[in-house]
Chains A and B, each alone.
Chain A
Amino acid sequence: MSTRARLTVTVNGRTYTREVESRRLLVDVLRHDLGLHGTHVGCEQGVCGACTILLDGEAVKSCLMLAAQVDKRSITTVEGLAEGNDLHPLQQAFRDAHGLQCGYCTPGFLLSAVAIAGRGVVLQGAALREELAGNLCRCTGYHNIIEAVERFLRQASGARGDG
């Protein structure tokens, strides 16, 4: 058996094939092998949520998966949100509501919130804070993050016509 693994993975719609060390964490492959530096490394033990990505649409922490596990799977990172220079509506909401200060935690929050919208639920207040409890922010005190995500979820449900 080898300590290397070969994987083919779709990230933000583009397919990559790489051979990596079996011990390599998914977040490190995204950053170092694929050059997608938007996914951040915080605690490396599954507490801070800075490395949150979408795996087949579900929010997961990419420091708690080996890269080899995502062979033949589909991933969305923060780089997959904007279209060219047009911010994703959630990114625009963060900008409008001042939902970030240093920005380190922001990619994780964005992906967690996109996953909530993907499930078609409009969460607010305490329920939304609970759903975002896996993402830590040390600057904002969360108020403006929650405000931004609430705005985005209302907007997303309005666009679907169920709001």
Chain B
Amino acid sequence: MKPAPLEYLVAETREEALAALERYDGNARLLAGGQSLVPLLNMRLVRPTAVIDINRIPGLNAIAADDGVVRIGALARYSALESSATVRDRLPLLARAIPFIGDRQIRNRGTLGGALCHADPAGEMALCAVTMGATLRIAGHGAQRELSAAELFQGPYTTALEATEMLVEAVFPAAPGTVATVAEHARRHGDFAVVSVAAAGLPGEGEIWRWIRIGLGAVADRPLYARRASERLAGTRLEPDAIREAARLCLEDAEPASDIRASAEYRRHLIPIYVERVLVELRQRRAGADPGEAHR
């Protein structure tokens, strides 16, 4: 398992990367962390004419809090996100999701932008992006545009990016005081999710939740924001009836497929269980209890 012959270019700036993408006219791939791309090269599932290394572009890995949002550069590595106080304090959903990704070596190299552009329907970063309603900033040759996470993901391993565009930054809404949790069912520790559920919410007066956002991973051809369940839970106390109703709505909105990891039927069995677990855990976290890592 070795990559097919390819050209290797280092882009020192964003402009160089975009010019190279243009030059290869769809036959080049950007190399960020490489933790998904290089296995695909090794297995020859992708055979680009050229690989454009963007790891040396300065500033593309920045993590910054800014007026109600957290901006994360496409090259920010999981290990940097894992140790970032900004992420821990303002974007707890991301902090909760990262331990589910791969292993230490993978997290030392893998990047947020790479994960989003890989668009694995089971991917944790894609799940966080749709759950929080992140905005993606895209650079093209001479033009910039923005996409919502829901617009970015078009299907398995398929994004709305043109072959000559690059993702430069993800902008996550980040309300102070947000509580978040993630649960995932996987065949093995660190393996890809069979079902994953993410939830974030903002506590209000008393035991009321001002808003709650739920996302579902690996249950459709792309990660889903569970809009109806989320809207059902806004303004509730996450009482058992509301949780059961949300779990039912999530199951209705999911379109699971059978694949090598699980059957569609098994996924349908798991979805309400994991939605209920995540919402109970969210309530516990708000109360200050740490439910631990029981659902890993």
**Which positions in A face B, CB cutoff 8 Å?**
1-3, 5, 21-25, 28, 44-46, 49, 52, 58-61, 63-66, 68-69, 71, 112, 115, 130-134
Contact = CB atoms under 8 A, between A and B. Distances in A.
Interface string B15-45: 0000000000000000100110011011100
Interface string B33-72: 0110011011100000011010100000000000000000
B6 interface: yes
B210 interface: no
B252 interface: no
B104 A23 contact: no
Contact of A23 (B3, B9, B39, B105): B3
Most buried by A among B4, B34, B53, B189: B34
A23 B4 contact: yes
9 contacts: A1-B50, A22-B6, A44-B1, A58-B79, A65-B109, A66-B53, A69-B53, A69-B55, A132-B104
B106 A66 contact: no
Contacts of A65: 34, 38, 109
Contacts of B55: 69
A60 B8 contact: no
A52 B3 contact: no
A134 B42 contact: no
Counting chain B residues whose Cβ lies within 8 A of the other chain, the interface size class is 20 to 34
B104 A46 contact: no
Given A59-B104, A69-B53, A21 B5 contact: yes
Contact of A3 (B7, B10, B79): B7
Interface of B: 1-10, 31, 34-35, 38-39, 41-43, 50-51, 53, 55, 79, 99, 102-106, 108-109, 189-190
Given A64-B39, A66-B53, 9 more contacts: A3-B6, A3-B7, A44-B2, A46-B38, A64-B109, A66-B31, A131-B104, A134-B104, A134-B106
Most buried by B among A1, A64, A66: A64
A46 B39 contact: yes
Given A23-B6, A45-B42, A112-B105, A64 B35 contact: yes
B103 A134 contact: yes
B81 to A, nearest CB: 15
B39 A5 contact: no
A45 B106 CA distance: 11
A90 B41 CA distance: 34
Nearest to A43: B1
Contacts of B9: 1
Nearest to B102: A134
Most buried by A among B43, B99, B104, B108: B104
A24 B42 CA distance: 10
A18 to B, nearest CB: 14
Contacts of A21: 5
A115 B1 CA distance: 28
A28 B105 CA distance: 18
Contacts of B103: 49, 133-134
Nearest to B191: A47
A42 B55 CA distance: 26
Contacts of B39: 45-46, 64
A46 B190 CA distance: 12
A44 to B, nearest CB: 4
Contact of B108 (A2, A22, A58): A58
